[in-house]
Structure 1
Amino acid sequence: MPTDSSFASRVQTIDDLQGPAGRLEALLNTGRPDAPYAALVCHPHPPSGGTMHNKVVYNAMKVFTSFGLPVLRFNFRGAGLSEGTYDEGHGEQNDVRAALSWLEHNLKLPILFAGFSFGSNVGMRACCGDLRVKGMIGLGLPVRAAGRDYTYGFLPKCDVPKLFICGDHDEFSPRDVMEQVLATANEPKKMVWIEGADHFFQGIPTSPRAKLDQMQVEMRTWLQDEFALD
């Protein structure tokens, strides 16, 4: 948690985030003046209703702001008020790159990335190998969802610290398959399975309580350990 008890994050509407397909609707949660990093958080599959207001995205943002970091969220092309149309994850990678460039230009800080579901796959693809990005968090990484296959052949090329968090009852990320996928990822990496959690970090019938707080604890601990945040 931030050591400055007077710090309070504010939400700003961003009007000048331009992607290749047009303006991207975006929000910035402000950070402390001495923040050592900025953060970018990406949302799940747009045609399935994913936006930057998704609960998992919101809770991930709250972890970053608890350290006083500024956090940018945006809607992919065609989602919410963002211009353009859905591009099957291809053009969306360029939306992520546009967001990274906005952060670089406006905040001039090294960047930490987190994405949920579709946003984790697309965002990590765009961030992998980008020297502006110093760490990546994949939440609910999908393998197959609604007839769409997600691949992770890019992971062996990602040298920055990586955290992967999935529910052990995630219907889109079978544990045996995901563990094989993540075994190919370059070090440093950490994989966490949240017991009794589904894809959205909600509970299952035998453990109905939502598990978003556990997701946050794992994120917070990893950020403290890897990046000495407090």
Structure 2
Amino acid sequence: MRTKIILQNFFIEGSAGKIETVLAEPRELPKGIAVIAHPHPLHGGTMDNKVVYTLFNSMLELGFIAVKFNFRGVGKSEGMFDNGIGETEDIVTVTQTIQHQFDHHLHDKPLLLAGFSFGGGVQLRAVERLNPQSLVLVAPSIQTADTTASCEGVEQVLIIQGDQDEIIPLTTILDWATPHTLPIVVIPGAEHFFHGKLTILKRTIHRFMKI
């Protein structure tokens, strides 16, 4: 059994250049791979965002290899913002690279995609290409996703939304989720960045993943 968490910082070669990536392996044998996407690059979104940090740590605690990265043009990642299209390529490239890296002992383990805000919308774009078993979306930016984006074929879907979200209103998420019959976990009093609600956010993720 491992005595400590293994943390790695490295670059992955993407279509727009190098992608800055952080990966953490759990102490025990990993249950799968979780790839987390951050909020809007043009509004200060990076992989160091506190909701992304909460998702990253939650997945690691749940036994997943946790991966987060900066989209093109953010931090040390090369390239320029591409309105969710190039960012989808970034997710696919990072995910497939990590899957290949761990294929020797994780080829039959599940893939989980997670994203916050813009990152959630981009993850919806990536679902069809990556076929994840689980999807965790926190206040997803539906307008970033393709208008026909759905979670069809995904075994586990968790959507978490604050009822006081001033950027992506709860009604927007409900209007999108209703035709797809997707349940939503609503956190009362939470606004878009979940100030003061990160503990509840983490608890919700843990409960969902242990079902």
Identity of aligned residues (%): 32
Q: Counterparts of 1:1-230 in structure 2 under 5 Å?
A: 7-15=3-11, 17-108=12-103, 109=106, 110-128=110-128, 130-131=130-131, 133-143=132-142, 152-155=147-150, 157-185=152-180, 189-202=182-195, 210-225=196-211
Give 1:183 shift. Answer: 1.2
Relative to structure 1, the CA distance from residue 96 to residue 156 in structure 2 (aligned partners, 3 Å threshold; closer, same or farther) is: closer
Task: Kindly indicate whether the alpha-carbon contact (under 8 Å) linking 2:39 and 2:45 is maintained by their aligned counterparts in 1.
Answer: yes
Give CA deviations for 1:87-144 in whole Å, capped at 9, x if unaligned: 011110000000111121012233111100000000121123523x110011011356
Structure 2 letter corresponding to 1:199:
H
- 5+ long unaligned stretches in structure 1: 203-209, 226-230
C-alpha spacing 1:14/1:101, structure 2 compared with 1 (3 Å): same
Gaps of 5+ in 2: none
C-alpha contact 1:129 1:158 (8 A) present in aligned 2: no
Could you say what secondary structure the match of 2:80 adopts? coil
Structure 1 vs Structure 2 CA RMSD: 1.9
Equivalent residue letter for 1:211: K
CA contact (8 A) 1:41 1:72 kept: yes
1:8 to partner: Cα distance: 3.2
State the distance in 2 between where 1:70 and 1:49 align. 26
Number of residue pairs matched by the alignment: 206
After alignment, is 112-121 or 100-109 more displaced?
A: 100-109
1:13 shift after superposition = 0.8
Pick closer, same or farther for the CA change 1:116–1:7 going to 2, 3 Å. farther
Secondary structure at the aligned position of 2:183 is classed as strand
Distance 1:65 1:156, change over 3 A: closer
- Give distance in 2, aligned partners of 1:152 and 1:219: 26
SS of 1:73's partner is strand
TM-score when scaled to structure 1?
0.83
Supply the distance in 1 between the matched residues of 2:42 and 2:54 (Cα, whole angstroms): 21
Shift of the alpha carbon at 1:150? 5.4
**2:70 and 2:139 mapped to 1: Cα distance?**
18
| Secondary structure at 1:71 match in 2 | strand
Moved more, 81-90 or 25-34: 25-34
Residue 134 of structure 2 aligns to which amino acid in structure 1? G
Change in Cα spacing, 1:7 to 1:103, as seen in structure 2 (3 Å) is: same
Q: Which residue number in structure 2 is paired with residue 206 of structure 1?
A: none
Give the conservation status (yes or no) of the 8 Å contact 1:167–1:197.
Answer: yes
Structure with more helix by fraction: 2
- Structure 1, residues 163-198: CA drift from partner, whole Å, max 9, x if none? 000111011222223112111226xx4310111010
